[in-house]
Amino acid sequence: MTTSNLATNRANNARRKVFYDYPTGKFPLMGLLSLMDDEEELTDYELGWYEEKWKSARDLTAIIESGKGPFATSAAGTAAAANATAAVGATIYVKLVNADDIRVRDVIMIKDVLRTDATTANVTGWVTAIDDTANVATVKLLDASLASVGASNQVTTNNGKYVTVIGTATGEGDRSRSDGRSTEPLKLTNVTQIFRTVLGPWTGSALKMGQQWDSKPKYFKDCKDGSLRHMTSMEKALLFGVKRETTTTNADGDSVPVRFAGGIRWYLEQWDKGNTANGGAYDYRPGESDLSSATWTSSSSEDKRVLTNVGTVTKSNWDELIRRMFMSQSDSTYEKLVVCGDKTLAVINDYANRNSLTMHELSPKEDSYGMQIKRLNTIHGDLLFKTHPLFKEDPSMQNTMVVLDAGDLKYHNMEGRDTELLKNRQARDADYRKDEWLTECTFEIRMPRRHMWIDGLTGILS
């Protein structure tokens, strides 16, 4: 929805109306989600969606023996080969982390292989056999990169090198093979959470004083205050919610389910864990390492999404962070929304000033739904900075920034349970009245690799 037609459509749902009335409130993300196309209402408390991470066919070389490299003596991959030369057409055996992406007839290139004379070379070969159990590829060399100087295989330097498929080659008159792959997309889930914000109670005596209660300024104020508290509660759940299901005892003494919706940070943490073997909730990155405690500055941690205690970074570190922010995006706009603390925005503004970069302000009336948003152009894409009031008021969050691909965030409500003001929620014999705001909803947080959570950014050096 554009800024210009928000006024006309502000009453389509209660969340949008609250956001329209309070664009500077403490719930910018919930406000923006209220402006998106209405998602299908849920008929089940569990929301499921599918994701598929497509990448070009590649793998990494793996260790065979402790202290040695990835080249084996045989297709079984049980022993490491010595540092030996290999002429064009010779056969070598390469141990892989996971051979699922490599097939017979693939032409592969192993990048930057260290040779015994301390030089590096790209090694190109043709795959003639694959052992899926041992994860070993039998490769016939196509070039002379190892013909006079062999690969250094008595050290670990060549482990973790990229093996990239650069084509396929088939002999004339050959038949097709039966080694294709069929993979299922990953199913993710979240659960609905019931948000309830009570208004009142107002005593029976107070309700009889003066004119009709619902037209009194006191009632209007209570409704307004309740709506702001309600939206702020959902905003915090979207950011910090932890997905869980348990039981509780209700007011009637019955044991009933209680569900907590997972938020942005929770899904990013599961991505960093990688897979269920590492303690994660989903197999986002099967077979890969847990990045939760990894040093974010390491080149092997570029997939890490939750960065803590970042501190003051160098200009090259900052440029690398921006590159990682745009490693994946939902569309061709190359824009990311950054909600952040006021101290973080000051750091970014200072960096921009010192490097003669211009931060453009979007027009609140024409471009940004009444919110103050700053645009920073980078070589990888545009960052749209919005100070988050919840971060600003919390000293522990003032140096936090959350980079979001807005196209991969969605709001879903249970059928007939979108945000609504319900009146007369008291027991029938109660001598008071209470109303409440009620919502049962959940959040669809797709593709964690497209988002990033950065804590503790205190400075960027020139």
- 133 falls within a domain: yes
Q: 3 with 89, same domain? A: no
CA–CA gap between residue 398 and residue 394 (Å, rounded): 6
Tally of structural domains, the chain: 2
Amino acid sitting at position 432? Y
If asked whether residues 403 and 270 sit together in one domain, one would say: yes
Distance CA 380, CA 362 (A): 20
**First vs last C-alpha separation in the chain:** 39
Q: Exposure string (b/e) for 362-382, b if CB count within 10 Å is 16 or more? A: beeeeebbebebbbbebebbe
The Cα 220–Cα 199 span in angstroms is 11
**Do 63 and 47 fall within a single domain?**
no
Any domain includes 125:
yes
In a domain, 174, yes or no: no
Q: How high is the pLDDT of residue 128?
A: 96
pTM score of the predicted model:
0.86
Q: Which of 73, 123, 389, 409 is nearest to 262 (CA)?
A: 409
Torsion of CA 273, 131, 166, 450, to 10 degrees: -10
**Whether residue 192 is found in the same domain as residue 337:** yes
Q: Is residue 283 part of a domain?
A: yes
Q: Are residues 24 and 90 in the same domain?
A: no
Residue 90: the pLDDT is 96
Please check whether residues 40 and 63 belong to one and the same domain. no
**Residues 364 and 418 both lie in one domain:** yes
Cβ-based neighbour number of residue 68 at 10 Å:
21
Domain assignment present for residue 179? The answer is no
pLDDT of residue 1: 63
* Cα separation, 58 vs 170, whole angstroms: 19
200-to-27, 217, 229, 388 alpha-carbon distances in Å: 23, 14, 14, 29
Cα 455 to Cα 2, 293, 309, 414, 452, distances in angstroms: 32, 14, 6, 33, 10
Give alpha helix (H) positions in 208-308: 217-240, 264-273
Q: Would you say residue 95 lies in a domain? A: yes
What six digits make up the tokens of 377?
């152009």
Do 391 and 374 fall within a single domain? yes
Per-residue pLDDT of the chain (462 residues; tens, 9 = 90+): 666 666 666 666 888 888 888 887 888 899 888 888 767 889 999 999 999 877 788 888 999 999 999 999 999 999 999 998 999 999 999 999 988 889 999 999 999 999 999 999 999 999 999 998 999 999 999 999 999 999 999 999 999 999 999 999 999 998 888 777 767 789 999 999 999 999 989 888 888 776 577 777 888 899 999 999 999 999 999 999 999 999 999 988 999 999 999 999 999 999 999 999 999 999 998 888 999 999 999 988 999 999 999 999 999 999 999 999 999 988 777 899 999 999 999 999 999 999 998 899 888 777 777 888 999 999 999 999 999 999 999 999 999 999 999 989 999 999 999 999 999 999 889 999 999 999 999 999 999 999 999 999 999 998
What does each C-alpha distance from 303 to 84, 300, 403 come to in angstroms? 35, 8, 14
Residue 215 lies in a domain: yes
Q: Does residue 366 sit in the same domain as residue 381?
A: yes
- The pair of three-digit structure tokens given for residue 345, joined into one six-digit string: 């925005």
Predicted pLDDT of residue 287: 80
Residue 249's identity, in one-letter code, is T
CB 87 within 8 A of CB 54: no
At 29, the amino acid letter reads: L
Predicted local confidence at residue 214, as pLDDT: 77
Which residue range(s) make up the domain with 230? 1-52+187-462
Q: Which two tokens stand for residue 20?
A: 């329209």
Do 255 and 303 lie in one domain? The reply is: yes
The answer to whether residue 173 sits within a structural domain is no
